[in-house]
A and B are shown apart, each in its own frame.
Chain A
Amino acid sequence: MHRNKSLALAASAVAGSLVLAACGSGGPSSGGGKISDDKVVLGLLNDQSGVYKDLSGPNSKVAIQMAVDDYKAKYGDKAVAKNIEIITADHQNKPDIANTKAQEMYDRQKADIILDVPTSSAALAVATQAKAKKKLFIDIGAGTTALTGAQCNKYTFHWAYDTGMLAAGTGGALVADGGKNWSIVYPDYAFGQDMTKSFSAAVEKAGGTVQQKIATPFPNDNFATFITKAGSTNPDVVGIMAAGGDLINFIKQYNQAGMADKARLAVGLMFITDIHSLGVEAFKNTVFTDAWYWNFDDQNRAWADKFKEKTNTRPSFAHAGNYSAALNYLEAVQATGTDDADAVVKELEGKKINDVFLRNGEVRAADHNVTHDVYQVKVKSKDQVKEEWDYEEVLKTVPASEAYAPPSPECKM
């Protein structure tokens, strides 16, 4: 009896202190204006050291800083967010690390928003944290459609691309161009399987056939057998769904096997950094879908020039996407006068955006997928390249309505 009583006492003491703590943390933010902790904290969580370092990584911090500078220059004294801090962390492409780092950013470092997060499994882990903590998350680097499908939530937005859009842009367009018969080679893990599913659907929808779907180990450095197998049905198009170093292994061996002359090569997901690392000759006639290209028009180029001044390299679409997401977040804070997540979400939902990254962009309210015009591009031949990083010839702008599938019925906010 006595013991129960003391337990109850202890419990109520704990509960009391929790209530006090909650009041304590609520105090300064309600007293000190509408910006929590008197500053807006942007958290960049991505791969700072591994395979995706070059295509986004530390240079995305530069891009976000450019957004902050542009925001401050635009609003000056009228800026709602006077103190803006950018914090970064390395998630090493591992979902468990991403999960811990996201908690740390939201709770301890008072991040108001987390940006980027490449690698689908890591992105889904952060989306779960965003939902639990009721804080914003805008994903740029990951491709999975699950972020705006079965695992969508109120606080998560998907800004730059997804596997469905890549498939519609590349798969659909190549079939229309005469590439009816496909062999698809894919790494046997979540991303590769997701890509293969999206591409098969897009190819079949456009009237083509997928003759073979060939799974390979991941990672892998010898594709000889798979290339022979892919070529055995004389396909018009060989689709490769590998990324990073594996993609480069595949392409080198594909060219050496003489396949480049026999079938067109479609790359599922390619970043300009991949072309830079191999040189344009290796990618002769390769077609892929890009979310953004730095040398597409004067507006993009002007931004890319500023980026180059700071980094001595040209931006990938992920860099431009991080800039756009950070800037539009700050604009939403400006418009609502607060960094309160619910208010910002409300402001962003349904917003139509045209900026350096998004053309005919729309933040879809139904699933928080940010749709925009994307580009079907071909890798330039060596004599077409006029300067370093001038690698892509835009064949066609794919309008947002064609590039993105309608909101998935699986998404329930």
Chain B
Amino acid sequence: MIFGVLGVVNFSHGACYMLGAMIAAILLRDTGMTFWVALVVVPLVMFVIGVLMERLLVRWLLGLDPLYNFLLTFGLTLFTVDLMKREYGVSSLPYPVPDALQGRVSLGSLELSVYQIFAAAFSVLVCVVVWLVLTKTRVGMIVRASTEDAERSRALGINVARWVTPVFGFGIALAGLAGVLAAPTRSVNADMGSFFVIILFATVVIGGLGSILGAVVAGFLVGLVEAYGQAYAPSYAQVLIFVLMALVILFRPAGLFGREETA
């Protein structure tokens, strides 16, 4: 979305995801803030961080080659990761599964933990809400119109620039939310976002840059390829994702759901 609306290739998602989880863990440790409160508070904090990033840094490079913002966000990632290491060390911070979501349920031959089900359901919910906002509301229409053709939207009297900051902040907030959701099942430390970025990038490319439906479908696709790969050909699991990416680019250079002109 950030790419669609702003033309900014944001490489800092991994760091924002990490920040989301770290902030949740630090708040839990220092203030005893529960998971449920963190689900609301952390995205708000991340939104503010996103707004600051956009206002203070990203904005100045908007007129230039997208590569500049790519480099900026990459640099920010390195900076944030090392800053967190310096402040909080490299050992993971504890973050337990909330009590209400402990336990497991059996679905026939399959046994899932309640938390996994919750995380999956919550992710779907967030996707649906974002989709509804984008398709059914006036705000969504403006954002989509700006994505489609910023020039023409401007000509029609929409203040595209006004929407740039909140959209950027919203993207960062979503990454932070993902971090909170991941905290109970992953080790929460400064490095946790590092693998994530490359896979994420592959996902976005497969789905088509700037396409939300594409990102969702590609997300599932990448997840399945990875899981089956690990089960049947562990050494090739990670390569498979990039083979998939290469195939998609080969046959549909704009990605599965991308539009040719954005490619």
**A interface list, Cβ under 8 A from B:** 49-55, 188, 214-217, 219-222, 224-226, 228-229, 244-249, 252-253, 256-258, 273-274, 276-279, 281-282
Contacts and interface: CB of A to CB of B under 8 A. Distances in A.
Contacts of A225: 227, 230-231
B184 A252 contact: yes
Contact of B237 (A52, A217, A256): A217
A215 B96 contact: no
A252 B93 CA distance: 12
A224 B185 CA distance: 11
Nearest to B116: A256
B262 interface: no
B97 interface: yes
How many chain B residues sit at the interface, stated as a range, is 20 to 34
Contacts of A52: 90
Contact of A256 (B82, B113, B235): B113
Contacts of B238: 217
Contact of A278 (B94, B111, B195): B94
Given A225-B230, A226-B230, A54 B237 contact: no
B185 A252 contact: yes
B154 interface: no
Given A216-B234, A217-B238, 19 more contacts: A53-B89, A53-B90, A188-B234, A215-B235, A216-B230, A217-B237, A228-B231, A229-B231, A245-B191, A246-B187, A248-B92, A248-B187, A249-B186, A252-B185, A257-B113, A258-B104, A258-B113, A277-B94, A282-B96
A139 B256 CA distance: 53
Given A216-B234, A219-B195, A279 B187 contact: no
A279 B25 CA distance: 13
Contact of B111 (A49, A216, A258): A258
Contacts of B113: 256-258
Interface string B221-241: 000001100110011011000
B195 A220 contact: yes
Given A188-B235, A225-B227, A225-B230, A249 B187 contact: yes
Contact of B90 (A51, A226, A252): A51
B159 interface: no
B192 A245 contact: yes
Contacts of B104: 256, 258
Contacts of B92: 245, 248, 277-278
Contacts of B227: 224-225
Interface string B52-92: 00000000000000000000000000000010010001111
Contact of A279 (B96, B115, B195): B96
B234 A215 contact: yes
B181 to A, nearest CB: 13
Contacts of A226: 230, 234
Interface string B171-202: 00000000000001111010110111000000
Interface in B132-189: 184-187, 189
Nearest to B196: A221
Contacts of A221: 186-187, 192, 195-196
Contacts of B82: 49
Contact of B226 (A51, A53, A188, A222): A222
A50 B186 contact: no
Given A217-B238, A225-B231, A245-B191, A277 B91 contact: yes
17 contacts: A49-B82, A49-B85, A49-B90, A51-B191, A53-B90, A188-B234, A217-B237, A225-B227, A225-B231, A246-B187, A252-B184, A256-B97, A256-B185, A276-B91, A277-B189, A278-B94, A282-B96
B96 A54 contact: no
B229 to A, nearest CB: 9
A287 to B, nearest CB: 21
A228 B228 CA distance: 12
A51 B189 CA distance: 10
Given A54-B91, A277-B94, A252 B234 contact: no
Of the candidates B94, B104, B238, the one having the most CB atoms from chain A within 10 angstroms of its own CB is B94
Contacts of A229: 231
Contacts of B235: 188, 215
Contacts of B186: 221, 249, 252
A119 to B, nearest CB: 14
Contacts of A278: 92, 94, 187
A51 B196 CA distance: 17
Nearest to B86: A49
Nearest to A55: B91
B187 to A, nearest CB: 4
B243 to A, nearest CB: 15
Contact of B187 (A54, A216, A217, A245): A245
Nearest to A52: B90
Nearest to A276: B91
Contacts of B91: 54-55, 273-274, 276-277
Given A54-B91, A217-B237, A225-B230, A256 B189 contact: no
Interface string B203-237: 00000000000000000000000110011001101
Contacts of A253: 185
A276 B195 CA distance: 24
Contacts of B93: 277
Nearest to B238: A217
